[in-house]
Chain A
Amino acid sequence: MSSISMEKSASMGLKDLLGYLLDSDKVDSVLTMRRIPETGAWDLALISDSGNLGEAEPLAPVMTVNAGKELSSLSLSGKRIAAVLKPCELRALIERVKREQGSLENVLTISHTCSGVFPLEQAADGSMDELLPKYEKVSSMGEIPSSVRDTCKACQHFIPMDSDILLSAAATQRPGEGCVLYLGSEKAEEALKEFKGNRDDRVFDPSSLDRTAAARKKERDRLFTSMENDCSGLDGLLNVFGKCVGCHGCSRVCPICYCALCDFESMNFDYNLPYFEEHLSRKGALRLPADTVMFHLGRLTHMSFSCVGCGMCSDVCPVGIPVAAVFSRTGERTASLFDYVPGRSLKEEIPVMVFKEEEFSDLG
């Protein structure tokens, strides 16, 4: 597999690539973050006219929506799309494709090493602009920016797994350094046949980010230990999730939660008066609406092993519950029961869809 280098920043190089893919009719549309000129707001855009790429900010450290989630449904249209995805968004896409919610057939995935995204509130109120220079400086040194989502700081999978094209985004933070595109598939080779740039057979060396990986591991341990302390036992669980207002925003923005009708919003959890009367007679009291903690335990059981730790859930929570930290921590454990890593490979089946005849001999 080859690599292509350009004497421009990673962001400019990517924009050139997207323009080339559109203009040479290799794809019908490209998916990228952009900044809305009139308002300065951040946006995920599906662009078909390369003339609109001026607004594109493909490496913007912000996630208004998990792009893997949006892309998966678009990919079912049969039209060709090139998408710039953060590593967790790519993993989410893979997880959704496994669930028949998307297809990789007509999709060219372009992913990059990621230093994390700013919380939505900072992206929305403009404070992100002030913090950006420091973010770029810190991440270029291989360190973790302090202003990103907590699950970003703790993310162990910040190097994309298996994208058609890989880009080292650390180059954006080093002015003057060129941009290198690592081609990882036949599809990429074919699509970039006529793309201009210096070709050689360089391969991406993940060890160049070992320092970052070590820092991330420390952060992960710190975050997960703090969750273990805060969210332990029924009391801990109630302390963390007790103020949940049941908006279900977390599951709505979650790329893995794809059910058109969530079990917990269905008639299965819609109660008749006898249910309430029975609860009253037994417990003397119950919360309305019911099933606050149930929803979270249920969602953990249903999808935690596929959680990619993107952090959208925590960001939309109106009361600031650290949903992402809890879910990614438990998710790491439920996934490792099956040596599973969500999004690592399309060949790895969803753990609950398969089984081994001999396993978990300690159970039962």
Chain B
Amino acid sequence: MISGEEDRMDAAAGTPYMLRVENGPEGSVLELLGHVIGSGKADALILPFRVPSGDSFAWILFSDVSLLKEAVPFPATMPVQGGKALRSLTRKERGNLKVIALMRPCEIRAGIELSKLGQVNTENLILASYDCPGAVKLEDYVSDPASCDSSFSDMRSRGEPSGNVRSTCSTCMDFSMVDADIHFGYFGIEDGRMLVVPGSPAGRALLEDLNLEEEEGLLPQWKAEISRLAEKRAATREETFRETEKRISGFDGMLATFSNCIGCHNCQSACPICYCRLCYFDSEVSGNDPEALMTAAEKRGGISLPPDRIMFHTGRLAHMSLSCVSCGQCSDACPVSIPVADVFSFVAERTQRTFEYKAGKSDGEALPLRRFLKTELDGVHDMVKDAESEAASHE
């Protein structure tokens, strides 16, 4: 993963720019975005704003630059996954509205996965990301916004997840440059400056006329810091995944992990990838009709209600783990604090690795289940052959 990031940084579309951040990183980034609107290169922005009660954020699509000063480009928490916001805007036909969205790397990746799923149209959409130290748990943020803002600020200055950060953030290897059109890099760069890295020709075209200084000198120290932080994250990832594996292993493990589940499906609603208007597991074909349930109760001596909650989770894993970006929204949304994201990000790494697929890359690679090779996945093939020959020997 570390080398993947470096490749992306190297493949960035040309020399990065430098942004002087005299009025703080937030102010300078907002100013830059304001210039982009002012120059007519984009029509609107999608940025987080603090909600009226002050204890959360909302995505706002806006073209009125006088609102810029109220935007919060780097919010401490993630109430709505950016991929979801992009979905609501661009799912249907695109027009001429050129929009720039500034979001966390995992939100960008979700947006890219959604575009492969036909739920986001990236035409006329410029995706911008930034170095992310993690996101504070939503529940914690809502109960104490001020102290969470302060601990997040601390996380940003060190580049590291800490405190009441989401557990998936501590294991995230995609916290810096991803396949966005523009990336704001600042880990390891001293105060007063920030890198603005074009990630695509479209990103470069946008930045070209903004009178920013080109600056290659900052690259090595930035890359080195990202590398250093990534190594730490990798160690945490391995350890956490091992713990997760132990915890969910076997039928008993799954039952214990999801024991408190009440079947509210908040995890699914919060997930940017789960876009189905009618989830398969709510539909008539998933066997939750009254007759089937009563029969099951009679056969087994009893059933738990709402029915098929383990089925729902394992089914959701089967359906979407290939596109899971490990953002952690699911855990935050769970009313009984099940570590859904830990389970999903662990399994997602395995399913994605099976197909050598990485969710969230915009390199034109089709979703694994939409393509196949005539010869592949030997392990599965052998299992089938064994089963066939065993069946034949019984005839």
Contact = CB atoms under 8 A, between A and B. Distances in A.
Report if A and B touch in the complex (beta carbons < 8 A): yes
Interface of A: 28-29, 31, 36, 38-49, 51-52, 64-65, 67, 70, 73-79, 120-121, 123-125, 235, 238-240, 242-243, 245-249, 252-253, 260-261, 265-266, 270-274, 276-277, 280-281, 284-290, 292, 315-320
A84 to B, nearest CB: 13
A96 B85 CA distance: 34
Contacts of B278: 260-261
A123 B114 CA distance: 36
Contact of A318 (B87, B290, B333): B333
- Which of A43, A272, A285 has the most chain B CB atoms inside 10 A of its CB? A285
Nearest to A75: B290
A48 B301 contact: yes
Contact of B79 (A281, A316, A319): A319
B62 A252 contact: no
Contact of B97 (A77, A248, A277): A277
Interface in B53-81: 53, 55-56, 58-64, 67, 79-80
Contacts of A239: 52-53
A243 B53 contact: yes
B310 to A, nearest CB: 13
Contacts of A44: 304-306
Nearest to B56: A243
Contacts, number: 214
A301 B85 CA distance: 26
Given A77-B293, A288-B88, A318 B266 contact: yes
Given A243-B79, A246-B269, A252-B265, 13 more contacts: A28-B298, A47-B302, A48-B297, A48-B298, A65-B263, A123-B336, A238-B51, A239-B53, A260-B278, A273-B89, A276-B97, A288-B59, A316-B264
A249 B266 contact: yes
Contact of B264 (A38, A124, A253, A289): A253
A43 B304 contact: yes
Given A46-B293, A46-B302, A77-B291, A39 B259 contact: yes
B335 A48 contact: no
29 contacts: A38-B252, A39-B259, A41-B259, A41-B260, A44-B306, A45-B303, A74-B293, A77-B293, A238-B52, A242-B56, A243-B56, A246-B80, A247-B266, A247-B270, A252-B264, A273-B90, A276-B97, A280-B43, A280-B44, A284-B62, A285-B60, A285-B62, A289-B59, A289-B87, A289-B88, A316-B262, A317-B335, A318-B139, A320-B142
B93 interface: yes
Contact of A77 (B46, B59, B290): B290
Contacts of A290: 88
B168 to A, nearest CB: 16
A288 B302 contact: no
Contacts of A246: 80, 269
Interface in B296-322: 297-298, 300-306
Chain A to chain B: the 7 pairs with minimum beta-carbon distance, closest first: A284-B64, A49-B301, A285-B62, A77-B290, A243-B56, A124-B336, A41-B259
B269 A247 contact: yes
B374 interface: no
B306 A65 contact: yes
A316 B268 CA distance: 13
B126 interface: no
A151 to B, nearest CB: 16
B60 A243 contact: no
Given A48-B297, A77-B291, A252-B265, A287 B60 contact: yes
A272 B92 contact: yes
Contact of B142 (A48, A243, A272): A243
B304 A45 contact: yes
A46 B297 contact: yes
A240 B55 CA distance: 11
B353 interface: no
B314 to A, nearest CB: 18
Nearest to A125: B337
B228 interface: no
B109 interface: no
A252 B256 CA distance: 24
Contacts of A45: 302-305
A248 B266 CA distance: 8
B235 interface: no
A146 B297 CA distance: 37
A135 to B, nearest CB: 19
Contacts of B43: 280
Contacts of A125: 337
